[in-house]
Amino acid sequence: KAGVTQTPRYLIKTRGQQVTLSCSPISGHRSVSWYQQTPGQGLQFLFEYFSETQRNKGNFPGRFSGRQFSNSRSEMNVSTLELGDSALYLCASLRQGGTEAFFGQGTRLTVV
Amino acid sequence: QKEVEQDPGPLSVPEGAIVSLNCTYSNSAFQYFMWYRQYSRKGPELLMYTYSSGNKEDGRFTAQVDKSSKYISLFIRDSQPSDSATYLCAMGGNTNAGKSTFGDGTTLTVKP
């Protein structure tokens, strides 16, 4: 059974640019959550999507957005990048019921 | 005050030792509890998932939950060098099923 696939694995962007990250969940899972991981703040919840609808949202500015497609694949977008957005962005695929979370390898974003 | 506090470590033990990792929480709405292992530059790997107070065992790992004290633990028996990683506790409630709140992690080193 394939795991959670995140692309790309690494990204380097310049301040002010925007970026789109992709996540393909485990087959059969309909819920996807996104997290930001930094050394100073740890793992912080960004948002969760279920059946193409945002169900939960964390305390991040509006520059962070996401969406989910009918095949459960999800994307997150960060606009007007700031240096502080440098982090490991993790996607979690959630088992039916939405509690057990299985993570991908993450996308490491560096903003310069 | 953070909702989830995790013993910060780092922790260094000899091979074969019993390791105890601990988290406390303040939110009574938390109903499910997870432990993850994260190797450097990898995504978190789900080790244990529990939904009730008591003990759950899986091989060398035992998860313990005490909801009355708002305290959870992960015990690793016969620790191996391959157990060297950062361990994260996570928890959530049914009302926000897709959102988990994480501890900051404890870095464990098992020395041969």
**Any chain B CB within 8 A of the CB of A17?**
no
Residue located via tokens 């694949």: A73
pLDDT-flagged residues of chain A (< 70):
1, 96-98
Query: How much is the pLDDT for B52?
Result: 81
In chain B, pLDDT over 90 holds for what percent of residues? 80
Maximum distance among all alpha carbons in chain B?
44
CA–CA gap between residue A83 and residue A111 (Å, rounded): 5
Query: How much is the pLDDT for A62?
Result: 96
Sign of CA dihedral B11, B81, B73, B89: positive
**Any chain B CB within 8 A of the CB of A3?**
no
State yes or no: pLDDT of B84 exceeds 80: yes
Among chain A residues, the shortest Cα distance to B96 is held by A56
Q: Average pLDDT, whole number, for chain B?
A: 93
State yes or no: pLDDT of B42 exceeds 80: yes
CA–CA gap between residue A101 and residue A106 (Å, rounded): 14
Give the mutation candidate from B50, B95, B99 for the A interface (greatest A CB count, under 10 A): B99
What backbone phi and psi angles, to 5 degrees, belong to A57? -140, 140
| Cβ pair B59, B77 in contact under 8 A | no
Hey, how many other C-beta atoms are within 10 angstroms of the C-beta on B104? 20
Chain B residues inside the 8 Å CB shell of A103? 36, 43-46
Query: How much is the pLDDT for B1?
Result: 80
**Any chain B CB within 8 A of the CB of A52?**
no
> Which of the pair, B107 or A96, is modelled with greater confidence?
B107
Task: Read off the amino acid at residue B60.
Answer: R
Of A94, A104, A105, the CB nearest to B98: A94
DSSP 3-state assignment of B96? helix
How distant is the Cα of A61 from the closest Cα of chain B, in angstroms?
A: 17
Q: Taking CB atoms and an 8 Å limit, are A103 and B101 in contact across chains?
A: no
